[in-house]
Amino acid sequence: MSLPILMTVDDDPSVSRSVARDLRRRYGQDYRVVRAASGADALDALREIKLRGDAVAAILADYRMPQMDGISFLEQAMDLFPHARRALLTAYADTDAAIQAINVVDVDHYLLKPWDPPEEKLYPVVDALVDAWRAAGQQPVEETKLIGHRWSSPSYLVRDFLARNSVPYRWYSVEEPEACRLLDAAGATREDIPVLITPDGTVLRKPGGEEIADAVGLSTRPAEEFYDLIVVGGGPAGLGAAVYGASEGLRTLLVERKATGGQAGQSSRIENYLGFPDGVSGAQLTDRARRQAQKFGAEVLTARDVVGLEARGSGRVIKFGDDTELAAHSIVLATGVSYRALEAEGVARLTGRGVYYGSAATEAPECSGEHVYIVGGANSAGQAAVFFSRYAKDVTIVVRGPSLQASMSHYLIEQLEAIDNVRVRTGTTVVEAHGDDHLEALTLCDASGQRETVPTGHLFVFIGAAPRTEWLGEAVVRDEHGFVCTGPDLVVEGQRPKGWSLDRDPHHLESSIPGVFVAGDVRAQSVKRVASAVGEGAMAVTLVHRYLEQQ
């Protein structure tokens, strides 16, 4: 087979020669370096490469080129090689413009020119690109087929599960002739939808999460019977705990109910996370963190619902929904929070059929030229508005409060103000959702009580969150909102929590069960930010070590 390709595109001959020389010096034995003098020439070369069946690992494109800039080129290159990793070469003077443009296309890195010395500035970036490509892009895509109805809530849930777990699939609406042919070949009917057909021909009718995970190759069964550390929840806090636990030699298992990343994994762009000046999508950050955890040896289980927790001697036992159990020396609870339900007439009936909780990226193409409404005033709502503004005719943010300033970051408010097709309606609530098979309109009510019915087929809800902690039972102390209390909050007037068995106070992130630690949004008094969640996950592992040393 031919060597995979690293492509560099720059209209400046001296820069083009320089980057090609540096790439060949470091990667020449394992990759073929191809350079082009313009976006058009590069696209012609990529089409030939596609016809030959060769692989492209990474593309480095100059931002400022005549006729076709780097962003426009990369958008078209993605259609030919969607799994090739992408970096933008930019001069210092163009940094701001490049960063803004990067939000339009899913670029992995940008690189300032000049990059001397390459050992410090160029090679670490390219190393990250090729590592990511090897992990996800080198193997041919085996396509899973999903047949369903656009306005079917079960169909939406399967699409969302596949997308959030990075499973390649092709969607067929049941109204399409090809969908009917596939149903006939599978021996299924319209009554069976959603129908999932795996690359090996396995047919699943109305499948659930664990059944889908097993069929598409996600891990759902633990490899061992006992672990040093079990992390429950795969959001930023859980992923942080898994990375640090596994990297420090603990036999670590991460258990996730739906898909790693949590609410942060659904974010279209996180722009205030340390080390990513051009922003990073939640999906990108999640993918890197998951691969990092697995590189250190952490095991990841998907689509497993934890429904119970108890202490048995020195062991800590979690119970799954299928009545099986798994034990460890210690537990980190990082289950995060779930979006609160919007209490308005018609919303529950239309959820998954035009009404969605969180940033349902799978619905973005369906929003083209449409009116989109977003309920909520925090960062997640603002990030969703920026994302959907690229597809929709217009986006309206509906906020109950008088402004966005109290709950949304300043940088995001400025972004929204600069987008022509985004508007904010303050002092307004959604009181009713209308539609038969799917959402067709909303009734809004302003602070004066005036009501207005507006047409829309898409409503995305971000109205705060509540923890999923009912399954913990009485042994784990929680506050009045269900968040788990830890450390000093458990010691009231010098009294340790009821049932506490150790001759010491609980550690800072330790719950009322010794050896069970809590990190991220589910912890009472936590800061609801991605960076703090990752930090708490790492800190929890430090306290796990301290707990284990004391046993």
Alpha-carbon gap, residue 20 to 34, rounded angstroms: 8
Q: How distant, in Å, are the alpha carbons of 13, 66, 108 from that of 59? A: 17, 18, 10
The tens place of each residue's pLDDT in the chain, 551 residues long, gives: 578 999 999 988 888 899 999 999 999 999 999 999 998 999 999 988 887 778 899 999 988 888 888 888 888 888 888 888 988 888 766 666 566 556 656 677 878 877 888 888 899 989 989 988 887 655 544 578 999 998 899 999 999 899 888 888 889 999 888 888 889 888 899 999 999 999 888 899 999 889 999 998 899 999 999 999 999 999 999 999 999 999 999 999 999 998 888 877 777 778 888 887 777 878 888 888 999 999 999 999 999 999 999 999 999 999 999 999 999 999 999 999 888 899 999 999 999 999 999 877 778 888 989 999 999 999 989 999 999 998 999 999 999 999 999 889 999 999 999 999 999 999 999 999 999 989 999 999 999 999 999 999 999 999 978 898 999 988 899 999 999 999 999 999 889 998 898 999 999 999 999 999 999 999 999 988 899 999 999 999 999 999 999 87
Alpha-carbon gap, residue 93 to 90, rounded angstroms: 8
The structure tokens listed for 485 are: 């209390």
Alpha-carbon gap, residue 278 to 275, rounded angstroms: 9
Element (H, E) at 87: strand 85-91
Nearest to 543 by CA among 486, 482, 490: 486
Length of the chain: 551
pTM of the predicted protein model: 0.74
Q: What interhelical angle do 282-295 and 123-136 show, nearest 10?
A: 80
Place of tokens 């999903």: 146
| Domains along the chain with CATH numbers | 5-136 (3.40.50.2300), 144-215 (3.40.30.10), 226-338+466-550 (3.50.50.60), 347-463 (3.50.50.60)
- Report CA dihedral (304, 309, 312, 315) to the nearest 10 degrees: 60
In this structure, which amino acid lies at residue 174? V
SS3 248: coil
Alpha-carbon gap, residue 442 to 456, rounded angstroms: 7
Please state, as a whole number, how many other Cβ atoms lie within 10 Å of the Cβ of residue 190: 14
Please state, as a whole number, how many other Cβ atoms lie within 10 Å of the Cβ of residue 495: 9
- Report CA torsion sign: 516, 521, 526, 531: positive
The structure tokens listed for 188 are: 């299924």
The structure tokens listed for 481 are: 């909102």
